[in-house]
Amino acid sequence: MATRRKELFLATKVQKRNGEKVQAIIEASLKRLQTDHLDLIHIQDLRRKKIWSASKQRMGF
C-alpha cells in the first residue's frame, strides 16, 4: 500500500456517534490499510438534523 498510496482514494465508514469510538475505528482502519490518512470518512445514518448536529459536536466538528 505504501508504495502506491498516491494512486488510491481510501475511504472508511462508521456507524458510531461517540467521538472516542469513531477515533478507534478510524485508527484501526489506518492500521489495516497501512497508511497514515484516509480521503473520506462516511458516517452512516445521519438523516435527521438532530442526529447530525449531535454527532458533529461529539466528534469535534
Burial 17-30 (b: 16+ CB within 10 A, else e): beeeebeebeeebe
Q: Read off the pTM.
A: 0.62
Structural domain boundaries, residue 37: 2-59
Q: Which residue has the higher pLDDT, 5 or 27?
A: 27
CA 24 to chain centre: 9
pLDDT digits (tens, 9 = 90+) for 13-44: 888 766 778 788 889 989 988 898 889 888 77
Domain count across the chain: 1
In this prediction, residue 4 carries a pLDDT of: 83
Q: Which residue has the higher pLDDT, 6 or 49?
A: 6
